[in-house]
Chains A and B, each alone.
Chain A
Amino acid sequence: MRPALFTPLVVFLVILLLGYIGFQLEDPHRLPSALVGKPFPDFAAQRLEGGDGALVGREDLLGSPTLVNVWATWCPTCRAEHEELLRIRASAPVRIIGVNYKDDPAKARRWLRDYGDPYEFNLVDPDGALGVELGVYGAPETFLLNAAGEVVFKQVGAITESVWRRELAPRLAALGVAVSAAPNARPADASAAFSATPAAPQQSDVGSR
């Protein structure tokens, strides 16, 4: 028996441990983000749409409940999520503001032209600096802010019909936004082939009124 031959086992056990810890971290009962319950951080960013070149800041997010959606054209899941955002935009009176994350602005503008634009406006975060402030792990991620600019909820991963129905719509309703769960519910998830739970459209509409 040679001790060196146990190296692979040790490496594997370390990876396994990481997997286990990672699993605990993703535990839905834990607070998914340090930001939840705290004010959205201060920032200054360009607008994707250009405009007059003036910087946008935290104060531009205040006033009414707002979804801040981190997205990028290099992220296939964002493409799937996009449909859901368009539906939300069409069906609920809530502002959606995009953070175009580590992306090429030209590609991003093209994307919005091609696939429709659910956003009131978009912040550009080309080097991910704002993403670091927000503790963004990857795209897509979405923050729900109340009118005072405090983070009420954070969704890591795509917003699907069921996320909207179970997480976002009830919270928005609590914030006084007149929402109904999206009609024509269907899985809006490009990766549905491999996803763990298909959306269940037969379930009752938790967030509707």
Chain B
Amino acid sequence: MAPELGHLAVIVALVLSLAGAGFGLAGAGLGRRRWMRAAVSVTFGQAVFVALGFAVLVWAFLADDFSVAYAAHNSNSLLPWHYKISAVWGAHEGSLLLWTLIMTLWMSAVALWGTRLPPDFLARALGVMGLLNCGFLSFLLLTSNPFERLLPLPPGDGSDLNPLLQDFGLIVHPPMLYTGYVGLAVPFAFAVAALLSGRLDSAWARWSRPWTNVAWAFLTLGIALGSWWAYYELGWGGWWFWDPVENASFMPWLAATALVHSLAVTEKRGAFKSWTLLLALTAFSLSLLGAFIVRSGVLTSVHAFAVDPARGLFILAFLAVVVGGALALFGVRGAAAWSPVRYALLSREAFLLLNNLLLVVALGVVLLGTLYPLAYEAASGGDKISIGPPWFNRFFVPLMMAAAAALGIGPFLGWKRSNLRRLARRLLACFVTASGLAALFGLLLGGSLSWAGGAALVLGLWIAAAHGLDLVRRRRIGGPPPPLAYWGMSLAHLGFAVSLLGVALTHELSVEKDVRMSPGEVANHGGVAFRFDGVVQVAGPNYRAERGLFEIADGERRLQLTPEKRRYVVSGSLMTEAAIDPGFFKDIYVSLGEPLDNGDWAVRVYVKPFVRWIWFGALMMALGGVLAVADKRYRRLRSHSSAVRPVAAGQLSGVKAPV
């Protein structure tokens, strides 16, 4: 009975989403206050009913109700309870329900915190989001119903969750990623609402900024978690593979990153208005495109997403309506956003434009690399080609280097124009600091860096020096302490530098060895001594394993690592559990290969310096984005354009306004 109630709740939510879209859009269009208020109430209703449906599905998993087909396929009575919950989003149907739940939560947040927005703007935004949610819910109900039953003969037990997914990283990765994907619907809805109303001043940019930041922060975390999981679970030290599914999440991230920056210009200076609108539309469209790529089977040839024509066609039609409609609206109304704003070449505007250009070109590269094989196949009538990581790296690395170089200049630039001589002096100071530190580091390493690695090292330090110097300068000038938004920006930029250093140094300095080791033997690699103490047999709850015993001496530090080779009893699948000693400066990684004669083993040892910085930097970026939202100026709200005020204030005090 319960699953049917869940099914019914989702149907009610679908009806409510239609009602919300109607009340919101028509109410704002006709100026009916009561309808607009109804749109807000209906929004909360959607959240309640989707949450109800989700709770029912979670209960089916927790209570081992294997008459629910989805639970039977993805759970098992022996699964620990926390994996039972995460198994709810372990496959397509449940993850789609999670997606709609997150969508309604974002909508409720907008309804809750948007009370100070003009009522017609809020109603339009909620109406647009209601329309989107209506699409998601129809997709769920028509093609991917998670409440389907296996009656009258339910199986005695479920077929269990894939062991690869029984893992912390994959418990939290999808919710984070979806929160980011779906969160981009908010700036999308705001942009459409602004276009519909025709009021294209900077106010909508101001309202969009906090939402965009939070969505972007979640997307950043989600991607970083996925990369981290790939590193420790898929093994062999890789952390990014440029496969279409990764690219599907990376493209909206690049667009959202550009959006975060361009929103700043639009809000503060009233410039780039139509560009910012377009980015807001693009970022969410790419989220949807990502969903299409992952779930439709268009690119299934590369990765294992089973083809379901009905689903693919639905998403394609949905994309056509949503993205096509929004872009057509942009074409018709976007011209109203045009406003000439003057700025010099050496100005914050110009550098933010450069940032946007670099990010969008990078986005183009990823998009092309992902879709080109498809285009080629379509054009040639069935011939296929593939595009691999070297292709992506060839374009992407120089673009990110250029972005890093510009990022070291950005903090010194004021709006409108900057003094070249003063700028040159500061940049020289930064450059000398960065090169000096890099040289020192190079000496410590014994000069084993390549040119590209050295350049990346200098650039990372250059960003750090620039932001540090700017902070010192602000302190010296005195005045009020920098606002939270400034700290957020600096933290995020430092995060970028940290990730950059992590990528470059890991790439340059990693030691990866395959060695044959006898019990008692000691091997030295990358400044770390590994002593192999043999292999013992252990039995886990659902597997048998051979566990290698390793004593590691890293300088003064002594530690034990115990990698395992597991055979899962039920499926017979073999999994290699590497043992990783995570560290701020380096990871030590040991995994068992195969047994050789005389008790010898083939052993894989990695020393990966600074690899953790990649994800640590992403964490800093996300925190920075959230920190900027906590700035108190977002708690004040002006319905008028705010383009003028902060700049005037900034010029008076001689301190530029924070981005």
Residues of A within 8 A of B (CB): 1-2, 5-6, 8-9, 12-13, 15-16, 18-23, 25-28, 34, 73-77, 79-81, 83, 86-87, 90, 102, 106-107, 110-111, 113-116, 128, 131-132, 135-139, 141, 156-158, 160, 162, 184-202
Interface centre among B234, B295, B301, B594 (most CB of A within 10 A): B301
Contact residue among B159, B307, B384, B570 (Cβ-Cβ distance under 8 Å from A28): B307
For A9, what are the chain B residues with a Cβ–Cβ distance below 8 Å?
A: 324, 327-328, 330-331
Question: Can you give 12 A-B contacts (C-beta < 8 A)?
Answer: A5-B331, A9-B328, A19-B374, A23-B296, A25-B377, A26-B301, A110-B593, A114-B593, A114-B604, A193-B174, A196-B297, A202-B155
How far in angstroms is the closest Cβ of chain A from B658? Answer: 30
Contact residue among B160, B274, B309, B386 (Cβ-Cβ distance under 8 Å from A128): B386
Is B378 engaged at the interface, CB distance under 8 Å to the other chain?
yes
CB contact under 8 A between A21 and B319, given known A9-B331, A74-B241, A110-B514: no
B92 pairs with A197, CB closer than 8 A: yes
B243 pairs with A76, CB closer than 8 A: yes
Q: Closest chain B residue to A189 by CB distance?
A: B304
Is B341 engaged at the interface, CB distance under 8 Å to the other chain?
no
Q: Closest chain B residue to A29 by CB distance?
A: B309
B312 pairs with A113, CB closer than 8 A: no
How far in angstroms is the closest Cβ of chain B from A183? Answer: 9
A5 pairs with B334, CB closer than 8 A: yes
Q: How far is the CA of A26 from the CA of B382 in the complex (A)?
A: 10
For B604, what are the chain A residues with a Cβ–Cβ distance below 8 Å?
A: 110, 114
A77 pairs with B303, CB closer than 8 A: yes
For B174, what are the chain A residues with a Cβ–Cβ distance below 8 Å?
A: 193-194
Is B230 engaged at the interface, CB distance under 8 Å to the other chain?
yes
Q: How far is the CA of A120 from the CA of B487 in the complex (A)?
A: 59
How far in angstroms is the closest Cβ of chain A from B322? Answer: 11
A191 pairs with B570, CB closer than 8 A: no
Stretch at the interface among B430-438, B488-496, B500-508, B571-579: B571-579
Is B613 engaged at the interface, CB distance under 8 Å to the other chain?
no
A73 pairs with B298, CB closer than 8 A: no
Residues of B within 8 A of A (CB): 70, 72-74, 89-92, 95, 150, 155, 159-160, 162, 164-165, 170, 174, 230, 234-236, 238, 241, 243, 245, 274, 278, 281-282, 285, 289, 292, 294-309, 311-313, 316, 319-320, 323-324, 327-328, 330-332, 334-335, 338, 371, 373-375, 377-378, 382-386, 388-389, 514, 565, 570-574, 576, 591-594, 602, 604
Q: How far is the CA of A201 from the CA of B573 in the complex (A)?
A: 17
CB contact under 8 A between A137 and B92, given known A76-B234, A194-B245: no
CB contact under 8 A between A195 and B305, given known A83-B573, A116-B574, A186-B571: yes
A196 pairs with B382, CB closer than 8 A: no
Contact residue among A8, A80, A110, A197 (Cβ-Cβ distance under 8 Å from B282): A8
Contact residue among A115, A156, A186, A195 (Cβ-Cβ distance under 8 Å from B576): A115
B91 pairs with A192, CB closer than 8 A: yes
Q: How far is the CA of A73 from the CA of B570 in the complex (A)?
A: 25
How far in angstroms is the closest Cβ of chain B from A111? Answer: 8
Contact residue among B234, B289, B570, B574 (Cβ-Cβ distance under 8 Å from A184): B570
